[in-house]
């Protein structure tokens, strides 16, 4: 009997399976090979501050060092780069933002003023700019390399998980001839079709991103104004992202492309070309915190989801907490506990 079946190899399933393998557990990850998932189109940005007041992100002082160490350990095992610390060159869109930043410079270790006139030829920065100390997770390296690693271990099944074939027993589950002590759903926005966890309130939102080329422009920094530009290769950038809560399908739209290009034109002073356009759904809960834990009636079923806009920073530490609950019965941080939604569950 396996210890765990995990459904989904986005950033959630990747990090949880990593911690379970580190704990020597016998696992199988079932994932359909879809290119248009949030984890596969995201830029992997880790940003320590958010909002107009540059507030430090939730639990960042614990989350960031843990994430950095975890991605470094994965890089060493997978023989691929997974993580790059980067300056986020933040261009102020207004004098108010500039003032808010200056009010924070002495209290936040993550932000610092820009003294020299950097990128003057390329960027419009009439209200000045600041440096925020961030990072990117190289998802385009990490996810396929980790998938190959799972396959080499015999821990990957590339397939669509079929709920009709799942059988619940007293202390385990079975699925198409496989038995496991537990099954953990890490299925991102597909949780909407999960009959066991559909009581968790989700506010899925669609995000779109462009890939662009800026001839002659080379930088290792992320560039931010109303949009983010993330370097992918010399002259090539990821440009994102948009938000939509009401959407008929998951296809890229002309309207959001126009919104992104409009934001870009507020920042860039030089020509560019669009080379790609992608869209995917972010799995966000209504209280914007991840959700982890076991089903109220069937403890052989678990869920790990709700990473919203911050999968890359949250997943390493929060998946580790979940592995500690699963293996050592150590309670989860209350903010991510599924129990906060049990009042919505009907047997
Ligand atoms: C445009 C955009 C930009 C973003 N930028 C960033 C960023 O810069 N930084 C950041 O931290 N976050 C970013 N995010 C958010 C981040 O992508 C998400 O938080 C994260 O990817 C969610 O990961 P997940 O594993 O929960 O879900 P997903 O990425 O959706 O993965 C779920 C996996 O489960 C599989 N699956 C689902 N159902 C089944 C089934 N029945 N059978 C088999 N497999 C199944 C899917 O195929 C998929 O592989 C961005 C999101 C978008 C859309």
* Contact partners, residue 59, CB within 8 Å, separation at least 6: 317, 333
Establish if 51 belongs to a structural domain.
no
**Domain assignment of residue 66, yes or no:** no
The answer to whether residues 273 and 291 belong to one domain is no
Examine the domain organization and report whether 211 and 339 are in the same domain.
Answer: no
Domain stop point among 262, 282, 302: 282
Least confident of 110-114, 147-151, 168-172, 310-314: 110-114
Looking at residue 111, what is its pLDDT?
A: 87
pLDDT of amino acid 220: 96
Does a structural domain hold residue 78? no
C-alpha count within 13 angstroms, C-beta hemisphere, residue 237: 28
Total domain count, the chain: 2
In a domain? residue 55: no
Domain final position from 266, 282, 298? 282
Is any ligand 1 atom within 6 A of the Cβ of residue 13?
A: yes
Percent of all residues in the chain with a pLDDT value above 70, rounded to a whole number: 100
Identify the burial level of 229 via C-beta atoms within 10 angstroms of its C-beta, where 0-12 means exposed, 13-18 middle and 19 or more buried: buried
Q: Which of 282, 299, 315 is the last residue of a domain?
A: 282
pLDDT in tens, 84-124: 999 999 999 888 888 888 877 777 889 887 767 789 999 99
Residues 122 and 93 both lie in one domain: yes
Pocket lining: 14 vs ligand 1, CB cutoff 6 Å = no
Phi, psi of 171 (to 5 degrees): -125, 15
Which of the four pLDDT bands, split at 50, 70 and 90, describes residue 72?
Answer: very high
28 lines ligand 1 (CB under 6 A): no
Same domain, 300 and 189: yes
Host domain of residue 233: 85-135+204-282
Given the CA of residue 159, which atom of ligand 1 is nearest to it?
A: 43
Across 240-246, average pLDDT: 96
Residue 100: per-residue pLDDT: 81
């Amino acid at each position: 009997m396996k210890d765990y079946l995990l459904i989904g190899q986005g950033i959630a399933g990747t990090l949880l399976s990593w911690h379970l393998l580190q704990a020597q557990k016998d696992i199988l990850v079932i994932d359909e090979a879809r290119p248009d998932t949030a984890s596969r189109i995201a830029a992997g940005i880790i940003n320590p501050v958010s909002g107009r007041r540059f507030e430090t992100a939730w639990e960042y002082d614990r989350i960031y060092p843990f994430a950095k160490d975890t991605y470094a350990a994965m890089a060493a095992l997978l023989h691929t780069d997974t993580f790059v610390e980067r300056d986020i060159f933040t261009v102020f869109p207004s004098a108010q933002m500039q003032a808010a930043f200056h009010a924070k410079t002495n209290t936040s270790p993550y932000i610092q003023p820009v003294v020299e006139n950097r990128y003057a030829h390329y960027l419009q920065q009439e209200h000045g700019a600041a440096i925020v100390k961030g990072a990117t997770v190289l998802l385009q390296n990490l996810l396929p390399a980790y998938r190959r690693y799972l396959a080499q271990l015999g821990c990957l099944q590339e397939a669509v998980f079929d709920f009709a074939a799942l059988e619940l027993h007293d202390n385990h589950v079975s699925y198409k001839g496989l038995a496991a002590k537990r099954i953990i759903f890490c299925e991102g926005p597909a949780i909407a079709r999960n009959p066991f966890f559909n009581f968790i309130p989700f506010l899925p939102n669609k995000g779109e991103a462009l890939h662009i080329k800026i001839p002659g422009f080379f930088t290792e920094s992320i560039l931010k104004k109303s949009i983010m530009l993330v370097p992918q290769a010399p002259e090539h950038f990821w440009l994102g992202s948009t938000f939509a809560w009401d959407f008929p399908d998951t296809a890229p739209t002309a309207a959001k492309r126009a919104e992104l290009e409009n934001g870009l034109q507020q920042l860039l002073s030089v020509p560019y070309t669009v080379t790609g356009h992608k869209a995917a759904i972010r799995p966000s809960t209504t209280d914007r915190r991840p959700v982890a834990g076991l089903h109220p009636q069937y403890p052989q079923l678990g869920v790990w989801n709700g990473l919203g806009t911050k999968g890359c920073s949250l997943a390493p530490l929060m998946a580790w907490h979940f592995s500690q609950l699963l293996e050592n019965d150590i309670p989860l941080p209350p903010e991510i506990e599924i129990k906060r939604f049990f009042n919505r569950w009907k047997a």
